[in-house]
């Protein structure tokens, strides 16, 4: 992609804010170590730029979901530990060795495969404590603790688990998972342990253990907790391509789902679902849809989101002109609010942005 090509849609990324967010989470979690989760192309902002900025801030451990992301992290930082959350198969051994990737092992079978194919290379074991997603059952974990020769061959360096409800501090499953994880940990007295994602960090010291694994909070999405104000990293801005006037009684967009009740000034903007601007942010006569920000005022999305275009109501903004930039999310238009209007979460909006949204880097390491 030519970064200098003219673009009607920009994702502005503040790498300085990213680095400061990591430091803030690091300080909040200390003395626990603070890793960074950079799966899904660093939540859409770009592994190649995010990882050096985080490493420069002091981060030494990176988590990705799949091996290919691990290769990209390795290319960006030669000497950090890179963990692959989605596990390991025996036929991946050469690739893991080539890029010094460390698997998060989720089953006994994969632990045996790692011990057999990559003996002596470090790995992590994931124990499921109540989410029923990846990881060994509690029973399997206890069994594993009784097999010292397998533990040694697999070079386990850490035990981890993942919280299902950390974003709901009052949820009883948080305490239950912590208690179960502590019990399992007791069977592996020499291994460090990791439990907390972004929201888990805010559950308090008990949850920090030896290593925390924030993802979304680094990027300034999903929650703005008072105790650790985090900066917005990503701002999505789209250009007004055309302004038109529509009369009462007309309709807007595909399917004519939105009727105009009084004369309306419409701005057609360069963003659509092919950019990852969620189709469900659109509005109809029955469904209000999301909003955007123009010249300090909120403006509603009118009608369906097209592949490459959306319409917004600028009747209340007399100065709106063709060529203006509209903030679709960012410091003035919270991403989680836009996502909620589409029935989803900021995580999905951010990681779902397509490559067509031109990435524009600012801040400390942007050169
Ligand atoms: C994605 C993920 C994280 C990071 O979660 P956030 O909510 O983005 O902080 C941490 N641990 C595991 C196992 C994950 O899958």
CATH classification of the domain holding 320: 2.40.37.10
Residue 135 beta carbon below 6 angstroms from any ligand 1 atom: no
Q: Which domain holds residue 63?
A: 15-219
Which one of the listed residues 43, 219, 254, 361 is annotated catalytic?
Answer: 254
Q: Is there a contact between 136 and 128 (Cβ–Cβ < 8 Å)?
A: yes
In 3D, which of 217, 222, 125, 129 has the Cα closest to residue 173?
Answer: 129
Atom of ligand 1 minimally distant from the CA of 213: 10
Residue 363 beta carbon below 6 angstroms from any ligand 1 atom: no
- How many Å lie between the centroid of ligand 1 and the Cα of residue 14? 21
- How many Å lie between the centroid of ligand 1 and the Cα of residue 195? 10
Q: Is there a contact between 101 and 66 (Cβ–Cβ < 8 Å)?
A: no
In 3D, which of 228, 265, 230 has the Cα closest to residue 247?
Answer: 265
Helix (H) or strand (E) segment spanning residue 74: helix 67-76
In 3D, which of 240, 301, 302, 237 has the Cα closest to residue 268?
Answer: 240
Cα torsion for 35, 14, 217, 19, to the nearest 10°?
Answer: 30
Q: Which of 219, 253, 273 is the last residue of a domain?
A: 219
**pLDDT at residue 79, rounded to an integer:** 95
Q: Assess if residue 173 is contained within a domain.
A: yes
Q: How far apart are CA 111 and CA 108, in angstroms?
A: 5
Tell me: do 165 and 70 sit in the same domain: yes
Catalytic (active site) residue 254: yes
Two tokens at 118? 């990559």
Q: Assess if residue 5 is contained within a domain.
A: no
Tell me: do 183 and 136 sit in the same domain: yes
Q: Is there a contact between 232 and 362 (Cβ–Cβ < 8 Å)?
A: no
pLDDT averages per 10-residue partition of the chain, 367 residues: 86 97 96 98 97 98 98 97 98 98 98 97 98 97 96 96 96 98 96 97 96 95 66 97 97 95 97 97 95 98 98 97 98 95 95 94 70
Domain with 200 in it: what CATH number?
Answer: 3.20.20.10
Tell me: do 118 and 178 sit in the same domain: yes
Q: Assess if residue 270 is contained within a domain.
A: yes
Tell me: do 186 and 279 sit in the same domain: no
Place of tokens 């680094």: 218
| 157 contact partners, CB below 8 Å, separation of at least 6 | 102, 122, 123, 124, 191, 192
- Which residue lies with its CA nearest to atom 6 of ligand 1? 215
Q: Which of 191, 219, 247 is the last residue of a domain?
A: 219
Q: Assess if residue 225 is contained within a domain.
A: no
Q: Assess if residue 209 is contained within a domain.
A: yes
Residue 126 beta carbon below 6 angstroms from any ligand 1 atom: no
Q: How far apart are CA 202 and CA 190, in angstroms?
A: 26
Tell me: do 61 and 123 sit in the same domain: yes
Tell me: do 70 and 214 sit in the same domain: yes
Residue 215 beta carbon below 6 angstroms from any ligand 1 atom: yes
- How many Å lie between the centroid of ligand 1 and the Cα of residue 65? 9
If one counts every other C-beta atom within 10 angstroms of the C-beta of residue 262, the result is 9
Tell me: do 73 and 123 sit in the same domain: yes
Tell me: do 79 and 165 sit in the same domain: yes
- Which residue lies with its CA nearest to atom 12 of ligand 1? 162
In 3D, which of 54, 35, 5 has the Cα closest to residue 365?
Answer: 54
**pLDDT at residue 220, rounded to an integer:** 87
Residue 309 beta carbon below 6 angstroms from any ligand 1 atom: no
Which one of the listed residues 23, 39, 95, 219 is annotated catalytic?
Answer: 39
Tell me: do 238 and 185 sit in the same domain: no
Residue 281 beta carbon below 6 angstroms from any ligand 1 atom: no
DSSP calls for 8-43? SEEEEEEHHHHHHHHHHHHHHHTTSEE-EE-HHHHH
Atom of ligand 1 minimally distant from the CA of 200: 9
- How many Å lie between the centroid of ligand 1 and the Cα of residue 31? 20
Catalytic (active site) residue 39: yes
Instruction: Estimate to the nearest angstrom the gap between the alpha carbon of 222 and the chain centroid.
Output: 9
Tell me: do 291 and 169 sit in the same domain: no
**pLDDT at residue 15, rounded to an integer:** 97
Two tokens at 253? 């967009």
By three-state DSSP, how is residue 130 classified?
Answer: coil
Residue 198 beta carbon below 6 angstroms from any ligand 1 atom: yes
Two tokens at 49? 């730029």
| 85 contact partners, CB below 8 Å, separation of at least 6 | 39, 63, 64, 65, 104, 126, 134
pLDDT digits (tens, 9 = 90+) for 250-283: 999 999 999 999 999 999 999 999 999 999 999 9
Two tokens at 175? 């305490």
Q: Assess if residue 367 is contained within a domain.
A: no
Tell me: do 292 and 348 sit in the same domain: yes
**pLDDT at residue 4, rounded to an integer:** 82
What phi, psi does 243 have (nearest 5°)?
Answer: -120, 135
**pLDDT at residue 221, rounded to an integer:** 79
Two tokens at 244? 């038109």
Q: Assess if residue 227 is contained within a domain.
A: no
In 3D, which of 9, 10, 14 has the Cα closest to residue 233?
Answer: 14
**pLDDT at residue 339, rounded to an integer:** 96
- How many Å lie between the centroid of ligand 1 and the Cα of residue 134? 12
Atom of ligand 1 minimally distant from the CA of 166: 7
**pLDDT at residue 33, rounded to an integer:** 98
Count the domains in the chain.
2
Q: Assess if residue 6 is contained within a domain.
A: no
Beta bridge partners of residue 361, listed in sequence order: 13
Tell me: do 21 and 99 sit in the same domain: yes
Residue 195 beta carbon below 6 angstroms from any ligand 1 atom: no
Two tokens at 88? 């390991």
- How many Å lie between the centroid of ligand 1 and the Cα of residue 288? 31
């Amino acid at each position: 992609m030519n970064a200098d090509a003219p673009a009607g849609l920009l994702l502005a990324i503040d790498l300085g804010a990213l680095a400061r967010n990591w430091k803030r989470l690091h300080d909040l979690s200390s003395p626990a170590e603070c890793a960074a989760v950079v799966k899904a192309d660093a939540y859409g902002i770009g592994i190649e730029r995010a990882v050096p900025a985080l490493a420069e801030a002091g981060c030494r451990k990176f988590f990705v979901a799949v091996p290919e992301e691990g290769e990209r992290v390795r290319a960006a930082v030669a000497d950090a530990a890179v963990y692959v959350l989605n596990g390991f198969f025996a036929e991946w051994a050469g690739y893991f060795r080539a890029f010094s990737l460390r698997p998060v092992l989720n089953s006994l079978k994969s632990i045996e495969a790692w011990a057999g194919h990559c003996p002596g290379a470090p790995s992590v074991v994931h124990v499921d404590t109540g989410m029923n997603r990846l990881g060994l059952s509690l029973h399997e974990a206890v069994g594993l603790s009784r097999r010292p020769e397998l533990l040694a061959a697999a070079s386990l360096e850490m035990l981890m688990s993942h919280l299902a409800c950390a974003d709901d501090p009052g949820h009883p499953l948080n305490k239950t998972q912590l208690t179960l994880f502590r019990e399992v940990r007791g069977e592996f007295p020499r291994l460090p342990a990791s439990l907390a994602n972004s929201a888990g960090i805010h559950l308090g010291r008990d949850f920090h253990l030896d290593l925390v694994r924030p993802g979304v909070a680094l990027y300034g999405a999903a929650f703005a907790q008072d105790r650790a104000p985090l900066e917005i990293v990503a701002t999505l801005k789209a250009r007004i391509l055309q302004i038109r006037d529509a009369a009462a009684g007309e309709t807007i967009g595909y399917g004519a789902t939105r009727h105009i009740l009084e004369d309306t000034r419409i701005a057609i903007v360069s963003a659509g679902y092919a950019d990852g601007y969620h189709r469900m942010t659109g509005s109809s006569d029955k469904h209000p849809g999301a909003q955007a920000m123009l010249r300090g005022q909120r403006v509603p999305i009118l009608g369906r989101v097209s592949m490459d275009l959306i319409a917004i109501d600028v009747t209340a903004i007399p100065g709106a002109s063709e060529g203006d930039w509209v903030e679709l999310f960012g410091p003035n238009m919270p991403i989680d609010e836009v996502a909620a209007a589409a029935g989803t979460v900021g995580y999905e909006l951010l990681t779902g942005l397509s490559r067509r949204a031109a990435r524009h880097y600012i801040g400390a390491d942007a050169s």
